[in-house]
Amino acid sequence: MKKLINDPNNVVAESVEGFGLAHSDLVTVHPDPLFVSRSDAPVRGKVALVSGGGSGHEPLHAGYVGLGMLDSAVPGAMFTSPTPDQIIPATLAVDGGVGVLHIVKNYTGDVLNFETAAEMAAASGVDVRTVLVNDDVAVEDSLYTAGRRGVGGTVFVEKIAGAAAERGDSLDDVTAVAQRVIDNVRSMGVALAACTVPHAGTPSFELTDQEIEIGIGIHGEPGRHRIAMESADGITSRLLEPIVADLSLERGDKVLIMVNGMGGTPASELYIVYRRAVQLLGEQGIEVRRSLVGNYITALEMQGASISILRLDDELLELWDAPVHTAALRWGA
Amino acid sequence: MKKLINDPNNVVAESVEGFGLAHSDLVTVHPDPLFVSRSDAPVRGKVALVSGGGSGHEPLHAGYVGLGMLDSAVPGAMFTSPTPDQIIPATLAVDGGVGVLHIVKNYTGDVLNFETAAEMAAASGVDVRTVLVNDDVAVEDSLYTAGRRGVGGTVFVEKIAGAAAERGDSLDDVTAVAQRVIDNVRSMGVALAACTVPHAGTPSFELTDQEIEIGIGIHGEPGRHRIAMESADGITSRLLEPIVADLSLERGDKVLIMVNGMGGTPASELYIVYRRAVQLLGEQGIEVRRSLVGNYITALEMQGASISILRLDDELLELWDAPVHTAALRWGA
């Protein structure tokens, strides 16, 4: 294993420390228990958004802390849920007096630990709601999940709910818009090559030189099937078609699309996938109104990509376009 | 070779087409001969900036086309210089009547082809100047270069000269500030694992499981030496010390630093390198005023990183902070 790390035990702490140094205008890093908050938190009178999960998916979640998005992010160990001991102070620290929304990717450990933390925070008098992101159409249950996994759609939930909170929506309304995003977003990914978790020291799964895995999870969990390598255009169809079917997208629908790199994929390849996705959607009369192409939710240095599609309505589009200033997404501010 | 591509012959064309679809608010893609221009070009009365080079280093250069940075970018084939046939129309298309600056990374093919294009554009009545970026301290001459190679410092040159052009500086002044950046920026990189150029189909060089290459070029050209894998902190010292020495940085100097991923390196590892770099500079009384951490000049999916440092003065800092709106860098606009 060759990685730019020191001790595998310190990877997350040192990385988050570096993140805090690089973005000290945006965030404060709380080292023990570890969480990252907006430097101006708590924002009085604003609903606060908290998310978190295993590390290794950067820029998710700390890269999305800032104006118009998250108030705090809770990094667990690599590919390991954060603990209630972290989530509770991350919740209390950002409560602006009008409630906190927990945005949780649907993995068993995350769900349990956020649930425990929400109960404890509620006992301290904070009004906490939770939404579960479960946008991955690849599989129903999997290695770490009952039901569908939460993947790239999480970025859309955090951005759009964050904009709703920033404009002053109530906890009920922010929760409702987050849920509306979840109801209208689907994702699917592909792996060409696995990543190596520092602690493990060996690749998280094996693919031969000729194989790819369709429907891969962001921890290398099994997907739908392994197939022989094929063209980018072919792979794009395999990712896109189940999403379009599951969302029941129809001619005239407007969408936001993300073509996301898993961490080890050149940008040039992501744009080739994006090109084909736009062509395929266009052939079906589905209009791409906004897009993201890049590394937004990764699996360390995994080679591969995922596609996420959100069906837009006017309000979701307006909230997407609202100002955001975080380490990984910035416009209008 | 597993890549998200179709025909290796079409990788650049399809990727740039996808880039144009994703960023149609910012750029226009001219498919034949291939170049990418600001969608509002030519901007009358503004000095125009043109850069280009082999593809495979995305977001360089097309990702830096837009307000406050480049007016056009000319993508060559993978790791291959663009031709005068591309550079000439890319120059003529963006000339706003007050001259064009060519920002050229110091590789023999790029230098020759930009020189030819500059002569042809001049023959058409356009005032063209050229700056050569040669910031890589690793080696003097190399596989594709006489003198030092141009690498990460190019991002700083494009941003700062772009801001000078945007505020209305003359061609002389824009050229002078670009040269001042070049005179004050140095870079050095490391590779942990090679990339594969689609046409070649095999890795561009070989490193064993225990080896890394210090001073690697962005095409996998040999660096200073191969050493056994060591800690991120140790590697950071090896990259930083030659830069600090070559720039003769002293206590009290203010710098802009970029910790750049080569394309296949997780963000978490880049922040570990950044953390150590800030510590080392701090110990020497050198003040980090601004920073970038991420994939800004890559070598396809190469695993590794580079550090670039620019000695700042007040004007360079002001120009760095000026608004920019491109696919890969955006603030203040």
- In this structure, which amino acid lies at residue A273? V
Q: Is residue A6 part of a domain?
A: no
Cα nearest neighbour of A301 on chain B: B266
Question: What are the phi and psi torsion angles at B86 (to 5°)?
Answer: -85, -40
Tokens of B197: 């150029």
CA distance A203 to chain B (A): 13
| Run of H or E residues at A232 | helix A232-246
Q: Is residue B331 part of a domain?
A: no
Q: Is A24 on the interface with B (CB under 8 A)?
A: no
Q: Angle at CA A113, nearest 5°, toward A187 and A219?
A: 40
Residues B179 and B210 in one domain: no
Residue B78, pLDDT score: 97
- In this structure, which amino acid lies at residue B316? L
B7: Cβ contacts below 8 Å, ≥ 6 apart: none
Q: In the beta sheet, which residues pair with residue B34?
A: B31
Residue pLDDT, tens place only, B204-223: 888 998 999 999 999 988 88
Q: In the beta sheet, which residues pair with residue B226?
A: B213
Q: Which of B49, B48, B16 is nearest to B34 (CA)?
A: B16
Buried b (16+ CB within 10 A) or exposed e, A135-161: bbbbbeebebbeebbbbbbbbbbbbbb
Query: What length is written for chain A?
Result: 333
Strands B100-105 and B48-55: parallel
Q: Is residue A48 part of a domain?
A: yes
Could you give the CA distance from residue A79 to residue A75 in angstroms, rounded to a whole number? 10
Domain count, chain B: 2
Residues B54 and B71 in one domain: yes
Answer whether B132's CB lies under 8 Å from B104's CB. Answer: yes
Cα nearest neighbour of B324 on chain A: A331
Residues B137 and B250 in one domain: no
Question: What are the phi and psi torsion angles at B321 (to 5°)?
Answer: -80, -10
- Residue identified by tokens 């902070």 is B321
Average pLDDT, stretch B96-125? 98
Answer whether B77's CB lies under 8 Å from B53's CB. Answer: no
Average pLDDT, stretch B167-179? 98
Could you give the CA distance from residue A162 to residue A66 in angstroms, rounded to a whole number? 9
Q: Is A55 helix (H, G, I), strand (E, B) or coil?
A: strand
Could you give the CA distance from residue A54 to residue A65 in angstroms, rounded to a whole number? 16
Report whether pLDDT(B233) > 80. Answer: yes
Strands A34-38 and A324-325: unpaired
Residues B141 and B226 in one domain: no
Report whether pLDDT(B124) > 80. Answer: yes
CA distance A45 to chain B (A): 27
How far from each other are the two terminal CA atoms of chain A, in whole angstroms? 40
Residues B173 and B38 in one domain: yes
Residues of chain A above pLDDT 90, percent:
93
Residue B165, pLDDT score: 98
Average pLDDT, stretch A303-318? 98
Report whether pLDDT(B72) > 90. Answer: yes
To the nearest 10°, report the CA torsion of B75, B79, B84, B87.
20
Minimal Cβ distance to B58: which of A11, A209, A266: A266
Q: Is residue B6 part of a domain?
A: no
The reply to whether residue B5 touches residue A272, judged by beta carbons under 8 angstroms, is yes
The reply to whether residue A15 touches residue B271, judged by beta carbons under 8 angstroms, is yes
- Using CA atoms, how far residue B264 sits from A208, B187, B269, in Å, is 19, 19, 11
Task: Specify the DSSP class assigned to residue B255.
Answer: E
CA distance B192 to chain A (A): 6
Radius of gyration of chain A (CA): 19
Average pLDDT, stretch A13-27? 98
Residue pLDDT, tens place only, A228-251: 999 999 999 999 999 999 999 999
Residues A33 and A169 in one domain: yes
Report whether pLDDT(A89) > 90. Answer: yes
Answer whether A235's CB lies under 8 Å from A212's CB. Answer: yes
- In this structure, which amino acid lies at residue A158? E
Residues A29 and A178 in one domain: yes
Q: Is A311 helix (H, G, I), strand (E, B) or coil?
A: strand
Residue pLDDT, tens place only, A182-220: 999 999 999 999 999 998 999 988 899 899 999 999 998
Residues B178 and B206 in one domain: no
Minimal Cβ distance to A301: which of B232, B266, B293: B266
Residue pLDDT, tens place only, B259-285: 999 999 999 999 999 999 999 999 999
Q: Is A321 on the interface with B (CB under 8 A)?
A: no
Could you give the CA distance from residue A282 to residue A57 in angstroms, rounded to a whole number? 31
Cα nearest neighbour of B301 on chain A: A266
- Count of other CB atoms within 10 angstroms of residue A24: 12
Residue A306, pLDDT score: 98
Residues A115 and A209 in one domain: no
Give the end of a domain, one of B143, B168, B183. Answer: B183
- In this structure, which amino acid lies at residue A224? R
Report whether pLDDT(B1) > 80. Answer: yes
- Residue identified by tokens 């228990």 is A33
Please list every residue in chain A whose beta carbon sits closer than 8 Å to the beta carbon of residue B9: none
CA distance A99 to chain B (A): 31
Residues A197 and A240 in one domain: yes
Give the end of a domain, one of A183, A213, A245. Answer: A183
- Using CA atoms, how far residue A84 sits from A76, A113, A118, B39, in Å, is 10, 5, 9, 49
pLDDT-derived band at B311 (thresholds 50, 70, 90) equals: very high
Tokens of B46: 């503004």
Residues spanned by the domain of B122: 11-183
Q: Is B122 helix (H, G, I), strand (E, B) or coil?
A: helix
Q: Is residue A1 part of a domain?
A: no
Q: Angle at CA A115, nearest 5°, toward A110 and A121?
A: 125
The reply to whether residue B305 touches residue A4, judged by beta carbons under 8 angstroms, is yes
How far from each other are the two terminal CA atoms of chain B, in whole angstroms? 40
- Rounded to two decimals, the ipTM of the complex is 0.98
Give contacts of A 208-237 with B, CB under 8 A: 209-210, 212, 229, 231-233, 235
Residues B149 and B26 in one domain: yes
Minimal Cβ distance to A6: which of B21, B63, B233: B233
Residues B172 and B120 in one domain: yes
Cα nearest neighbour of B328 on chain A: A294
Give contacts of B 158-177 with A, CB under 8 A: none
Residue pLDDT, tens place only, A131-179: 999 999 998 877 777 899 999 999 999 999 999 999 999 999 999 999 9
Residue B222, pLDDT score: 85
Q: Which of A57, A78, A1, A16 is nearest to B231 (CA)?
A: A1
The reply to whether residue B4 touches residue A193, judged by beta carbons under 8 angstroms, is no
Catalytic residue among A57, A61, A102, A225: A57
Q: Which of B48, B28, B145, B32 is nearest to B94 (CA)?
A: B48
Give the end of a domain, one of A154, A183, A212. Answer: A183
Q: Is residue A2 part of a domain?
A: no
Q: Angle at CA A90, nearest 5°, toward A86 and A91?
A: 120
Minimal Cβ distance to A18: which of B2, B56, B275: B275
CATH of the domain at A70: 3.40.50.10440
Please list every residue in chain A whose beta carbon sits closer than 8 Å to the beta carbon of residue B12: 268
Please list every residue in chain A whose beta carbon sits closer than 8 Å to the beta carbon of residue B76: none
Give contacts of A 2-21 with B, CB under 8 A: 2-6, 11-12, 14-19, 21
Q: Is residue B225 part of a domain?
A: yes
Could you give the CA distance from residue B20 to residue B163 in angstroms, rounded to a whole number? 23
CATH of the domain at B189: 3.30.1180.20
Let me know if A57 is a catalytic residue: yes
Average pLDDT, stretch B96-118? 98
- Residue identified by tokens 């169809």 is A237
Q: Within chain B, where are the H helices?
A: 11-22, 84-92, 108-123, 153-166, 171-183, 232-246, 267-283, 314-321
Cis peptide before B42 (omega within 30 of 0): yes
Residue pLDDT, tens place only, A72-86: 999 999 999 999 999
The reply to whether residue B15 touches residue A301, judged by beta carbons under 8 angstroms, is no
Could you give the CA distance from residue A232 to residue A255 in angstroms, rounded to a whole number? 21
Answer whether B139's CB lies under 8 Å from B222's CB. Answer: yes
Residue pLDDT, tens place only, B11-42: 999 999 999 999 999 999 999 999 999 999 99
Q: Is residue B333 part of a domain?
A: no
